[in-house]
Amino acid sequence: MQRVLTQQDEGRAGGEEVRGGSVVKNGATGGDKVEKESMMMELTRLVQNLVKESSWWERRGVDCSILAAAFLCLPLAFLLLRSSQLLWLSVGVLLMGVAHAVITIKGTHLASHGALSESQAWGKFWAIFFIEICGSFSAQAGVQGHIKMHHAHTNIIGLGDSSVWKVPSLSRTVYLFVAPLAVPVITPLVALAQVKGRSLALLVRTVVNITLGLYSQYWLLTNISGFRSMHSALLCMLVCRAMFSVPFIHVNIFQHVGLPMFSSTCRPKRIHQMTHGVLNLPRNLLLDWTFGHSLINCHVEHHLFPFLSDNMCLKVKPIVSKYLSEKQLPYQEDRYLSRLHLFFHKYQELMVFAPPITELVGVQ
């Protein structure tokens, strides 16, 4: 078990004691003032004030426009795929792959958090549309696994510790660079396994929506793009859907695995859990647009405030990083290639063996 001495312990040496997340001066009587506002409450207040001052365009409009642009690119992509010239055919495949990534990664992620609409009814509709029809997965299973498990129990062993991404039987090269290409095939199969045993209505809805999404692309490729054989159309679908699968798997493991893991019986306060167990990657023009800021360079902000859209996570980033620095809390960042190098050379330790449990002394 790893034990980490935190700033609270250093505070004790200076005459302070931590009680329930509040700091009390040693020797204080019951009438002395106790710090009423926890760090998480204080940071939340700062962020909420900025959100209230922001326009609808900043809160939701920017991200909705990016998603709309991705959908608008699809007709051009299908038309380019009609070309017999390799250059234009390649451009069509690339355009469709990028649009598909924006819709199925950025879109499904925002929809799962209800960040596309303030209406709960519309939020549920968008979740089903993006996750099931576009993403070929179960909306209920997606929300359950991502929101209620991963976000609620980030880096808690046996709950939200990202172990779902581990496949110990695969070698590091296969796992990091080859296996992700099968994600488009595996995703609907996992979705069906997730809804097995659930209500008949949920099962039928999931199967119908996933089938609708897959068949729509296939029909458009054969009837608009002019693919004459089923195999060529299916191959094109696989290439477009797998185009960003490798970085998708990388991002999901780079930002949590290898960071402090906690026991469910001795978990730290939320602000310590998220700042120790989450990492930001640097700005990347391509991944920022396709995956969204909340999955790349604002992942810490996203885990602290999961209701924010990608653009709002980027806007509150200076406030969050400054506040954590002032409170001497970790604000973890690392380069994509640096994390890839770490995982490649420490694959057994990070992706095969059970992770050590970290105990943050003084904050439990």
Which residue blocks in the chain are alpha helix, DSSP H? 7-13, 39-53, 56, 62-80, 86-101, 108-112, 120-127, 139-143, 172-173, 183-195, 200-223, 230-242, 245-254, 270-277, 285-290, 299-304, 310-326, 336-345, 347-351
Please name the residue that has the structure tokens 């062993």.
157
**pLDDT score, position 30:** 42
Query: And the tokens for 112?
Result: 């799962």
pLDDT band at 361 (very low <50, low <70, confident <90, very high): low
Question: What are 16-61's pLDDT values in tens digits?
Answer: 433 333 343 444 444 433 344 589 999 999 999 999 999 999 999 9
Is residue 136 a part of any domain in this protein? yes
Whether 17 maps to a domain, the answer reads: no
Q: What is the mean pLDDT of residues 144-148?
A: 92
Residue 32 lies in a domain: no
Considering the domain boundaries, does residue 359 fall inside one?
Answer: no
Instruction: Provide the pLDDT for residue 49.
Output: 97
Q: Which of 260, 280, 279, 278 is nearest to 363 (CA)?
A: 260
Q: Is residue 34 part of a domain?
A: no
Which pLDDT tens digit goes with each residue over 256-282?
A: 999 999 988 888 899 999 999 999 999
Q: Is residue 357 part of a domain?
A: no
Measured CA to CA, the distance from residue 132 to residue 135 in angstroms comes to 5
- 202 belongs to a structural domain: yes
pLDDT at residue 3 is higher than 70 = no
pLDDT in tens, 308-358: 999 999 999 999 999 999 999 999 999 999 999 999 999 999 999 877 777
Q: 94: which residues sit within 8 A by CB, 6+ positions away? A: 243
User: pTM of this prediction?
Assistant: 0.87
283 CB-side CA count, 13 A: 4
Residue 212 falls inside a structural domain: yes
Q: Do residues 68 and 254 lie in contact, with contact meaning Cβ atoms separated by under 8 Å?
A: no
- Tell me the mean pLDDT in the region 5-25: 41
Instruction: Tally the domains of the chain.
Output: 1
Q: Are 93 and 102 in contact (CB under 8 A)?
A: no
Which DSSP symbol is given to 355?
P
* The pLDDT value given to residue 360: 60
Q: Assess whether pLDDT exceeds 80 at residue 212.
A: yes
Is residue 160 over pLDDT 90?
no
Q: Tell me the pLDDT band of 6, cut-offs 50, 70 and 90.
A: low
Residue 286's domain comprises 54-352
| Whole-number pLDDT of residue 234 | 97
For residue range 55-73, what is the model confidence (pLDDT) as tens digits? 999 999 999 999 999 999 9
Question: Contact 206/132 with Cβ under 8 angstroms?
Answer: yes
